[in-house]
A and B are shown apart, each in its own frame.
Chain A
Amino acid sequence: MTEMQTIYLLIPLAPLLGAVIAGLLGWKIGREWSHRVTIGLMWVSFGLAVAVFFDVLKGNIHNGSVYTWITSGDTRFEIGFLIDRLSALMMVVVTFVSLMVHIYTIGYMHDDPGYQRFFSYISLFTFSMLMLVMSNNFLQLFFGWEAVGLVSYLLIGFWYTRPTAIYANLKAFLVNRVGDFGFLLGIALVLMYFGTLDYAAVFAQGPEMAKKTIEILPGKPWMLMSAICILLFVGAMGKSAQFPLHVWLPDSMEGPTPISALIHAATMVTAGIFMVARMSPLYELSDTALSVVMVIGAITALFMALIAIVQNDIKRVVAYSTLSQLGYMTVALGASAYAAGIFHLMTHAFFKAVLFLGAGSVIIAMHHEQDMRRMGGLRKYMPITYATVLVGALASAGVPGFSGFFSKDAIIEAVHFSRLPGSGFAYFAVLGTVFVTALYTFRLLFMAFHGKPRMDHHTEEHLHESPWVVTVPLVLLAIPSVAAGWVIGPVLFGDYFGSAIAVSAQHNGMALMAEEFHGIVAMMLHALQTLPFWFAMAGIAAAWYLYIKRPDLPAVIKNRAGILYTILDRKYGFDDFNDWFFAGGTRRIGTGLWKIGDVGVIDGLMVNGSARMVGWFSLVMRHLQTGRIYHYAFSMIIGVFVLLTVWFNRG
């Protein structure tokens, strides 16, 4: 094993070790040492990830196996790493955000009895996520995929005595399993046609498979690539919470806030985006799949943003914002702007983590009050939190200069260039979402931090800025929330991703954009003449007017909008439908099969004849059960042997 291979191995194993120590020995080493050990090992992981990142920049790409998982037939299923510019970038983002969240947790979970358990879980999560992004094959991808789902399940249900939390975690796991169901079938088709699950080998065979058709429905040939890519995308829809599998993410806010930031905003939910970008050599072969991806992403971006406007729970606003931003990333993938999708993934990881952790800071100060209607005027009590959330909001709304502006503008442009079916709708949706995003983001900012305080007197007296373990990560995350966008030139329009992402010649939107790109200042100046900028400004202005200037208006609009408001408030009715149709339906079918099938037909009709015999038998049994029947019975075993031997050998 070379030195670099040892480093690759250490990056995921360090947090795993931390998880094991905090999980199994946490009760013994205590709270202090639990966070020292896990955070220390996170530093190791982060430091090495940065080192690997610079190593990869020098052109050192690695693709190799660690060990053989199984062999079956002629296939070897292996565990291995692919370290290229895509995974190296993801490793840095994951370990950095995770490290920040580890530190923040010291403050946020300070009084929680499950302190050690929490550190164990978030380190375990980091391990799983790293295994996912570092994988060089579909099997390990699926392993990481499900493992992050497990940790997400454990963390949403972290406060396991709360009925809402344990409802939400079951829901999250099951909805994700629906996605994984498609994902696994996609993997199965890959294995069947390509004979391997190794990325490099699969991608190499891609072009010759492009023309192949399969008949999933007899007599209806279908492009193999479309089938595979859409099935894989179903997995992404689950993990990255795309419509209609988005329903679990808002409820996941039942988990502690650091988790919402780490897992349900910055890292895990972006796994689907990462996966599609990783599979770009396959997706490029199917316009149908790309169209599906783009339309689903556009629906998610627009319709989830609309819900965010009517939410009053500060975390839920951020949660719906996350859904909408994930939609943006998905749209980018559909437009073959994989680099832009990953770029937005990165900027979003920073500014969304700021928004979540800022919301968490507010929640601590408010003594676990999350309703924005009982906040207001927090600006003067929590200046650092306010400043960082403001940065996050500006980035989220896409104000020029902030990171979100660059990545979002690139996506909107890319969709504009796309010629795939559905791109017209997608363009309309992403443009409209700009206005809605600015509106709900600044609504949050104004409701929480501006205006008159609306909390009770007692709470107001105790308001104060959070401790340094909370504010330092906020500030450290706020810096890239501004600056991360400035590297757009080399990342998007240079050749940063190189061979890690493939784009075919006919999906050349990104290339055209690169020709028009003349540096970030020019891009900002140019933006002033484009629709997205004015939409964002309009959104901010509308939020200002409604929540600062005329705070009486929203109630009026709510009453006037009536049915529209109800639709948004009920989240388009998905939860009610799923509860009734899927959760209720399967239970009704299950009961029917059991009562009618098993108890009625099989036992009732078919075994009925023997049931009478059973009655007779038990009568006999009752008489025999008086003495030492077991002794006789055991001798039966021996007896059978003896009898057979004697009987057959008698002649």
Chain B
Amino acid sequence: MLVGFPLLSLVTWLPIAFGVAVLATGGDENAPNARKLALIGSVLGFVVALPLYAGFDLLASGMQFIEKAPWIERFNVNYHLGIDGISLLLILLNSFTTPLVVIAGWKVIQERVAQYMGAFLIMSGVINGVFAALDAILFYVFWEATLIPMFLIIGVWGGPNRVYAAVKFFLYTLLGSLLMLVAFIYLFHQSGGSFSILDYHKLPIPLPAQILIFLAFLAAFAVKVPMWPVHTWLPDAHVEAPTGGSVVLAAILLKLGGYGFLRFSLPITPDASHALSGFMIALSLIAIVYIGLVALVQADMKKLIAYSSVSHMGFVTLGFFIFNAYGVEGAMIQMISHGFISGALFLCVGVMYDRLHSRLIADYGGVVNKMPMFATFFMLFAMANSGLPGTSGFVGEFMVIMGAVKANFWYAFAAALTLIFGAAYTLWMYKRVVFGAVANAHVEELDDIGVREFLVLALLALAVLAMGVYPLPFTEALHTSVNELLAHVAQSKL
């Protein structure tokens, strides 16, 4: 359709340009303009991402929509973009989420509106850059750049303990990614002076080096996912972040880690991936079971959902390291679905927090009596989080469990425990918050969701249901890329 048109650059830079424009509206006296501009920018960002799906060739192997231009010629660093089915879905998820975040923050954010909206738009573009980058340095720049807006969102608009949480988030993720940079520099030398990720895929590497590279990548990606035991920054960050921050953090930023495994760890170090798969699976299963139990006893709704995220992301890493199509595609589906569901759940908590200024389960009870429409949405997302068939939450878990049993019955056994624990922590929370008689005078005064809140939740509800009932378009987009990846990983690079 648009041969040669730099669509990926547009998808990356348009939100950033709008973000800068929003920043330029200045102080809060211009807040209405900042909001409108941000909404236009974010919706446009989604609209320009749609042709990526329409023009994507489902059967073609390799990268599509490729753009390449020299950037720093001395070190052979290129401005090199391109996507396969894996990055396609993540870019669409990211572009879909940004308008929702803008709308969700419409009324709630009253201070430094332009900066808030600008930060999300810039972050959205930068994240698209991460998913599209095919040059290691370009990737690294985008990767680190995502930290700054999120750091500020937590640190400026966050809760009382925001500085601690922001710094913990920043340090954790920064330290992790520094090792990744070291790995890139090593690969640059090994490959005879290339920063092309696709070159790295073909590069033969001896096993000890592969293991070191794998571990360096692991430091970066495991923190982002986050995997047990480097997950403790996430609950703190979520609790302190404003609603929009939590949504983007859970829905998108965690996926950077998962994406990293697929784009770097598996194809660059396939032998190390196989050698260490038992270790990775063990960490994943611990995340699913251990974190599921920890989620059960949380008193703070945001913490509970944060732990639930860690547990659900355990399915993602489990799916990757069992090396079959069910597992990898299931893990990808799980990432997209988790984007919808965790985003929706954080928005639900945000809706209540905006009214009562509490995230504690104990401060609620009987919300359904006052907010029936909200309770219906919340029920749907709670069920989706429990992996109910017919919602998107089921698809990924189902596929990963189907894949895991091929590797080892007990992997599937441990992973399937989430059927019980996931339902237990989610529905127990729902019961205490939503069901029952009106618990106190504050709950008595709640009003049901307004038009904007309805719009955001309804869009997510549609996404969750559509993906649950008819997930074929998602798996079809992944098919060729995942098969190619699996064939690649099956070949030794020693």
Contacts and interface: CB of A to CB of B under 8 A. Distances in A.
A649 B152 contact: no
Interface stretch (B35-43, B336-344, B356-364, B415-423): B415-423
Interface string B444-479: 000000000000000000000000001110111001
B465 to A, nearest CB: 12
A177 B387 CA distance: 11
Nearest to A191: B402
Interface in B138-189: 141, 144-145, 148-149, 151-152, 155-156, 163-164, 167-168, 171
Given A72-B325, A188-B405, A594-B297, A637 B122 contact: yes
Contacts, number: 188
Interface residues of B, number: 84
Given A73-B325, A178-B420, A181-B420, A160 B294 contact: no
Given A188-B405, A192-B406, A142 B475 contact: no
A147 interface: yes
Interface stretch (A275-283, A429-437, A607-615): A607-615
Interface stretch (A474-482, A501-509, A626-634): A626-634
Interface in A141-156: 142-143, 146-147, 150, 153-154
Contacts of B122: 634, 637
A73 B330 CA distance: 11
B420 A597 contact: no
Contacts of A142: 389
B167 A621 contact: yes
Given A143-B390, A147-B389, A648-B72, A68 B472 contact: yes
Contact of A636 (B148, B423, B431): B148
A181 B436 contact: no
B388 A70 contact: no
Nearest to B471: A70
A597 B471 contact: no
Contacts of B137: 644
A593 B73 CA distance: 52
A63 interface: no
A634 B119 contact: yes
A143 B229 CA distance: 34
Contact of B293 (A157, A161, A185, A590): A590
A187 B155 CA distance: 47
A248 to B, nearest CB: 13
B417 A181 contact: yes
B475 A72 contact: yes
B412 A634 contact: no
Contacts of A384: none
A177 B137 CA distance: 47
Contacts of B404: 188
Contact of A621 (B163, B295, B417): B163
A649 B74 contact: yes
A70 B389 contact: no
A428 interface: no
A587 B379 CA distance: 23
B84 to A, nearest CB: 17
Contacts of B298: 594
B476 A188 contact: no
A359 interface: no
A651 B74 contact: yes
B470 A177 contact: no
B436 A631 contact: no
A213 interface: no
Residue in B72, B155, B164, B405 with the greatest tally of chain A CB atoms within 10 Å: B405
Interface in A600-650: 602-603, 606-607, 610, 613-614, 617-618, 621-622, 629-631, 633-634, 636-637, 640-641, 644-645, 648-649
A527 interface: no
A76 to B, nearest CB: 9
Nearest to A146: B389
A545 B144 CA distance: 84
Contact of A73 (B293, B326, B419): B326
Nearest to B483: A73
Residue in B295, B330, B413 with the greatest tally of chain A CB atoms within 10 Å: B413
Contact of B369 (A157, A161, A189, A630): A161
A163 B141 CA distance: 54
Contacts of B75: 648
Nearest to A117: B372
Interface in A224-267: none
A72 B329 contact: yes
A69 B419 contact: no
A618 B154 CA distance: 13
B82 to A, nearest CB: 19
Contacts of B420: 174, 177-178, 181
A641 B472 contact: no
B294 A594 contact: yes
A212 to B, nearest CB: 14
A192 B428 CA distance: 34
A586 interface: yes
B23 A631 contact: yes
A258 to B, nearest CB: 21
B409 interface: yes
B145 A637 contact: yes
Nearest to A630: B115
B416 A185 contact: yes
B427 interface: yes
A147 B389 CA distance: 7
A13 to B, nearest CB: 13
A295 B62 CA distance: 57
A649 B75 CA distance: 9
Given A640-B145, A648-B72, A73 B324 contact: yes
A69 B470 contact: yes
Contacts of A191: 402, 405
A633 B427 contact: no
Contacts of A637: 122, 126, 145, 148-149
Interface string A518-555: 00000000000000000000000000000000000000
Nearest to B330: A72
A173 B423 CA distance: 8
A159 to B, nearest CB: 10
B232 interface: yes
Contacts of B412: 185, 188
A644 B141 contact: yes
B72 A161 contact: no
Given A150-B383, A586-B293, A610-B171, A648 B74 contact: yes
Residue in B74, B293, B474 with the greatest tally of chain A CB atoms within 10 Å: B293
Nearest to A648: B72
Residue in A180, A184, A589, A621 with the greatest tally of chain B CB atoms within 10 Å: A184
A591 interface: yes
Contacts of B405: 185, 188-189, 191-192
Nearest to A621: B163
Contacts of B368: 160
A71 interface: yes
B470 A67 contact: yes
B254 interface: no
A1 interface: no
Given A174-B424, A185-B413, A630 B431 contact: no
Contacts of B379: 154
Nearest to B409: A216
A523 to B, nearest CB: 43
A511 interface: no
28 contacts: A70-B395, A72-B329, A72-B330, A74-B325, A143-B390, A154-B379, A161-B436, A170-B427, A174-B424, A181-B416, A184-B416, A184-B419, A185-B401, A188-B416, A216-B409, A586-B293, A587-B297, A590-B294, A598-B232, A610-B168, A614-B171, A621-B163, A629-B152, A630-B115, A630-B119, A634-B118, A634-B148, A637-B148
Given A72-B325, A177-B420, A216-B409, 9 more contacts: A73-B326, A166-B431, A174-B424, A192-B405, A594-B294, A614-B168, A637-B145, A644-B141, A645-B71
